[in-house]
Amino acid sequence: MKKLIHVAVGVIFDCSPAETGKILIAKRADTQHQGGLWEFPGGKVEEGESVKIALKRELEEELGLQSKIEDMQPLITIPFHYSDKSVLLDVWKVYGAKLELNQQATGIEGQPLAWVEESALADYEFPTANKAIIGALSLPTKIAITEDNSDPDIILAQAAQALKNYSNIWIQLRAPSLNQMQYTQLAMKLYGICHEGGSKLIWNCPLDWYQIAFADGLHLSGLNYAEASSIKSSTHINIENNKRPIPLTQWLSMACHNLDELEVAQELADYILVSPVKETKTHPQANALTWSGFKVISEKSRIPCYALGGLEIVDICVSQAHGGQGIAGISCFNETAASKDITKNTKESTEEKNIENVEDSIEVSNEEKSYEG
């Protein structure tokens, strides 16, 4: 197998993390690998460099941008194999780009630049490996999975409370105790609440229950992998991209417990839930992956990974430091867990500050990151 070229990549914002701004993209020269396509700026990590130091250097060389290490937050790592080379994209958000950079039409190397809204990134043609970056930008750091209950009103109230307590969160509706009618009626109500709060609703249910009109996406557990692969196009669920059971315009997530499941999931899904990272009360017989095991999967994955199983809110930064998008969970998003924090704003700011501390505490050598793919 080809040796992975370790590349530091910056998703550069013209704003602070608390604001909504534009993102900088650059056009590759026609003579370069993947020439003529747009990309997120960055470059190769040299021997002996940390990823953040390499990214700081590359952004200064390419753009003249004086970025700060403390303005960088991890987003995703993506291993990708082209026909002629293999790369490991180590992607970071970079905030607070200088105002004068916003006025530049070209970079230092003469490359065309563009500042675009996140929603407009799909209008530009990127290398295939960059598409997962765009997906990661659209995903939240938190996915709250509803706690099973035979009373739909209790589930609805708990989900609504999670949306109130946390920002940057989606809801996955898991309610195995409900029948199809109860589940659908609950989903219709919760869909409206989610969209009012700027969130999304992911259904976790049998495939033949799924209704596109009241869902933003579908989660497939290990139990229904086979069902997703064999479902016929004559059903009401639209089949695209061969075995994908829902349209490409909707989000598809899948459960993942090992590298074998990863191979299946990343051919179909937009993101995966990797579990169990820690021991859980609900599945005490399952062997925990630990953060090291989670990292093995996240570094092999071409799509965003969420850590799941026995986690707390503070584990968001740990997940990101191990290549994850964030966390998913049940109990960590309930009202009792939320009450441990003084305010929502305090909680969110603490997450952001902890990311760098956790990252710095994890020593990952350049040799390890340039593993044989």
Per residue in 193-203, pLDDT (tens digit) is 999 999 999 99
> Same domain for 145 and 101?
no
The whole-number average pLDDT for the span 28-56 is 91
Find the domain containing 64 and state its range.
Answer: 4-123
Quick one: 351 and 233 in the same domain?
Answer: yes
The reply to whether 195 and 114 lie within a common domain is no
How confident is the model at residue 355, as a pLDDT? 47
Together in a domain, 154 and 112:
no
Query: Across the strands, what pairs with 256?
Result: 274
In a domain, 185, yes or no: yes
CA distance 79 to 259: 14
25 inside domain: yes
Residues 299 and 175 grouped into a single domain: yes
Name the pTM for this structure. Answer: 0.80
Q: Is residue 262 part of a domain?
A: yes
Q: Is residue 130 one of the residues assigned to a domain?
A: no
- Band (pLDDT 50/70/90 cuts) for residue 238 is very low
**Single residue among 94, 123, 152 that ends a domain in this structure:** 123
Instruction: Specify the number of domains making up the chain.
Output: 2
- Give 149 or 83, the one with higher predicted confidence: 149
Answer whether 352's CB lies under 8 Å from 168's CB: no
Whether residue 5 is predicted with pLDDT greater than 80 in this model: the reply is yes
pLDDT at 366: 40
Give the number of C-alpha atoms closer than 13 A to the C-alpha of residue 255, restricted to the C-beta side: 18
Same domain, 247 and 150: yes
Which pLDDT value is given to residue 225?
Answer: 54
pLDDT at position 292, please?
Answer: 97
**Shared-domain flag, residues 220 and 286:** yes
CATH of the domain at 104: 3.90.79.10
- Burial letters for 251-283: b for 16+ Cβ neighbours within 10 Å, e otherwise? bbbbbbbeeebbebbbebbbbbbbbbbbebeee
Residue 252 falls inside a structural domain: yes
Q: Provide the pLDDT for residue 196.
A: 96
For the segment 148-177, the average pLDDT, to the nearest whole number, is 97
Tokens of 262: 């990863």
* 8-state DSSP, 221: -
The chain-wide mean pLDDT, for the chain, equals 83
pLDDT at position 46: 96
- The domain that holds 300 is classified in CATH as 3.20.20.70
Q: Which of 40, 45, 83 is nearest to 65 (CA)?
A: 40
Burial of 87 (0-12, 13-18, 19+ CB in 10 A): buried
- 162 occurs within a structural domain: yes
Both 109 and 147 in one domain: the answer is: no
Q: Residues 102, 162: one domain?
A: no
Q: What is the pLDDT of residue 16?
A: 81
Would you mind telling me the total number of residues written for the chain in this entry? 373
Kindly report, residue by residue over 244-284, the tens digit of the pLDDT: 889 989 999 999 999 999 988 888 899 999 999 998 877 77
Residue 74, Cβ neighbours under 10 Å: how many?
23
